[in-house]
Amino acid sequence: MARLAQEFIARGADLELVGIRKEFPGFTAIENLDLHIPAGEFFALLGPSGCGKTTTLRLVAGLDEPTKGKILIGGKDVTATKPHQRQVNTVFQSYALFPHMSVLENVAFGLKQRKIEDPMTKAVAALELVELGHLAQRRPQQLSGGQQQRVALARALVNRPSLLLLDEPLGALDLKLRRQMQIELKAIQMEVGLTFLHVTHDQEEAMDMADTVAVMNKGRIEQMGAPEKLYDRPHTVFVSKFLGQSNLFVGEVAESNASSISINVAGNKITVPTDRAEKHTGTIAVGVRPEKANFHETEPTAQAGLNLIGPGEIIDIRFTGVSNQYLIEIPGVGNVTVFAQNVGKSPVTELGANVWVSWKVEHSFGLSDLPENSATESISVI
């Protein structure tokens, strides 16, 4: 496979979107989008359905035209060019394999269109790359979903595009196959060194595969960065909720110094490091991930560097396999979710138990906006 992949190493190009706006009759799909994807990167565009991610992909492929803005591939302005004039290929959500052609003819289609020499040999090599060489003469309808997905990938890769676009390519596969394809897709990307732009609504898939994730919402990019960084320090309520789960607390800033900021939530002091907070004055939202929080059956002694709230009552316990998900109702604060691993007995504590919740100050994050209908009350967000 390594030797074959050599053949496909292409000049992966960088992609730049400048001030993109896309209006459809009646609504605006993309408001104002600026994006730079360096060459050779695996970039994921993550967002809920209707956030404009697929539209972005179609603009890059040339299937739609932006209302405003410029698209540059490898530094060249391609905004006005047609799809067949762009060195870009797409793996469609539905795969869009041509049903009236064999698998091999499907893969060779792009090469034949551009009158590339020896299209069949190259198509066979591309099918070998995705380990489907033995099915070359079949019709697409005769293949399983996973195999069709790989044919679609081969059909795009064989053209050595500068940029490969993937539109929810694993959406139609079952969970097990999806995990397997995630690993294969990532391996192929690393091997061929292409620029991948992957559109998905599956946060796990995005975090697992991408070098950089951009979280998109309502036609804008909310936040962009390495998956670990996005998860560790979300900047907005949307990102904190869409990428994993978060407990959010809303309160007035009570103390503030160079190193930390504290808010007051119904008499509980919650502290966040200054450099982990987006907003430093007024009412702000501070959050913590459920797996970073612990609960204690007896009140721990307060100590510096630890946020401590409670006591509250465990009102729900959910078994999820490796861990249990505890929902703790703290008077005046709201519901807090805590994950505890089932390393010992499960559940760790019984329903109805009175507990205190603590987490390290350095695990807090401060957001730039407030959760909807929070007013002054703090709420937890699951």
Closest CA to 49 of 231, 243, 216: 216
How far, in Å, CA of 109 to CA of 101, rounded? 9
Nearer to another protein, 27 or 373 (CB): 27
Tokens 């179609």, residue located: 58
Closest CA to 9 of 40, 49, 54, 45: 40
Through-space distance between the first and last CA atoms of the chain, rounded to whole angstroms: 43
CB of 88 to another protein, least distance (A): 7
- The first and second tokens of residue 3, run together, are 């030797």
Nearer to another protein, 3 or 100 (CB): 100
How far, in Å, CA of 344 to CA of 47, rounded? 37
Q: Quick check: 279 and 233 in contact, CB under 8 A?
A: no
- The footprint of another protein (CB under 8 A) covers 61-63, 82-84, 88-90, 92-94, 96-100, 109-110, 113-114, 138-139, 142, 155, 159
CB of 159 to another protein, least distance (A): 7
Element (H, E) at 58: helix 53-61
Angle 211-169-51 from CA coordinates, rounded to 5°: 75
Residues in the chain: 382
Taking the mean position of all CA atoms in its chain, how far away is CA 299? 38
CB of 90 to another protein, least distance (A): 5
How far, in Å, CA of 374 to CA of 64, rounded? 39
CA distances from 367 to 244, 266, 293, 330 (A): 15, 19, 18, 22
Q: In what order do the strands lie in the sheet with 283-288?
A: 268-273, 260-265, 247-256, 283-288, 365-366
CB of 100 to another protein, least distance (A): 5
